[in-house]
């Protein structure tokens, strides 16, 4: 019996090592219009599970987000409503995948504030296809985001209450929890390296 447990432990460790090694073949690429249906399906599914604003369950809001993502793909900017009014910020939509499966996940990056592209970037939305969650893809996307940003840029992210897995994952890749809003949204930052 003890021999079987050790063999299973070795087998499990080998499977885990092989899965992590396979993740190295997954990369980010800039999205095209052909990727937008995939992203929208993931966002709507995420909204149903409380990971994104529930307003995204409204078909009119979905149309608006689709148009906004189309602008991001074509012009690298998006509009958003804030306390300061309508703001237009730099943004990029990235698709995560491999040569065998080119639509595994996505991440939407933006300036935190208008004009802050060289000092502050936000991981605005991130998602992994439902059938591939729990395999390390979310971590890989976050790691790629962190490594592709200049070391002098402060990185920012927000997680709703129910996004505990993403919250913990971001902390593991170097983000610090800096604030929790009254609504329970947790704000995280990864501060830049000091350049002397």
What are the residue ranges spanned by the domains of the chain?
A: 2-190
Question: Which of 40, 115, 41, 96 lies closest to 70, judged by CA?
Answer: 40
Q: What is the band of 1 on the pLDDT scale with cuts at 50, 70, 90?
A: very low
Reported pTM: 0.82
How is residue 136 written in tokens?
A: 């390390």
Distance between CA atoms of residues 87 and 85, nearest Å: 6
Q: Which of 100-104, 117-121, 192-196 has the lowest mean pLDDT?
A: 192-196
Average pLDDT over the chain, rounded to whole?
85
Q: Which of 27-36, 114-123, 181-190 has the lowest mean pLDDT?
A: 114-123
Q: What is the band of 35 on the pLDDT scale with cuts at 50, 70, 90?
A: very high
Q: What is the band of 5 on the pLDDT scale with cuts at 50, 70, 90?
A: very low
Q: Mind listing the pLDDT tens digit for each residue in 131-171?
A: 988 888 999 999 988 888 888 889 999 998 888 888 999 99
Is the predicted pLDDT of residue 126 greater than 70, yes or no? yes
According to CATH, the superfamily of the domain at 2-190 is Gcn5-related N-acetyltransferase (GNAT) (3.40.630.30)
The HSE-up count of residue 117 (CA atoms within 13 Å, CB side) is 11
What's the pLDDT at 187? 94
Buried-exposed string 86-103: b where 16+ CB fall within 10 A, e elsewhere:
eeebbbbbbbbbeeeeeb
Q: Mind listing the pLDDT tens digit for each residue in 63-107?
A: 999 999 999 999 998 887 777 788 888 999 999 999 888 999 999
What's the pLDDT at 2? 44
């Amino acid at each position: 019996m003890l021999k079987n447990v050790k063999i299973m432990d070795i087998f499990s460790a080998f499977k885990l090592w092989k899965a992590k090694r396979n993740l190295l073949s997954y990369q980010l690429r800039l999205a095209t219009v052909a990727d937008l249906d995939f992203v929208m399906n993931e966002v709507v599914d995420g909204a149903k599970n409380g990971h994104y604003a529930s307003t995204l369950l409204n078909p009119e809001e979905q149309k608006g987000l689709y148009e906004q993502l189309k602008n991001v793909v074509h012009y690298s900017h998006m509009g958003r409503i804030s306390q300061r009014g309508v703001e237009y910020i730099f943004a990029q939509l990235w698709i995560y995948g491999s040569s065998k499966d080119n639509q595994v996940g996505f991440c939407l990056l933006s300036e935190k504030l208008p004009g802050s592209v060289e000092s502050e970037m936000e991981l605005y939305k991130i998602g992994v296809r439902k059938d591939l969650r729990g395999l390390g893809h979310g971590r890989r996307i976050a790691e790629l985001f962190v490594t592709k940003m200049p070391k002098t840029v402060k990185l920012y992210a927000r997680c709703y209450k129910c996004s505990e897995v993403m919250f913990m994952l971001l902390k593991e890749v170097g983000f610090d929890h800096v604030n929790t809003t009254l609504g329970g949204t947790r704000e995280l930052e990864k501060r830049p390296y000091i350049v002397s």
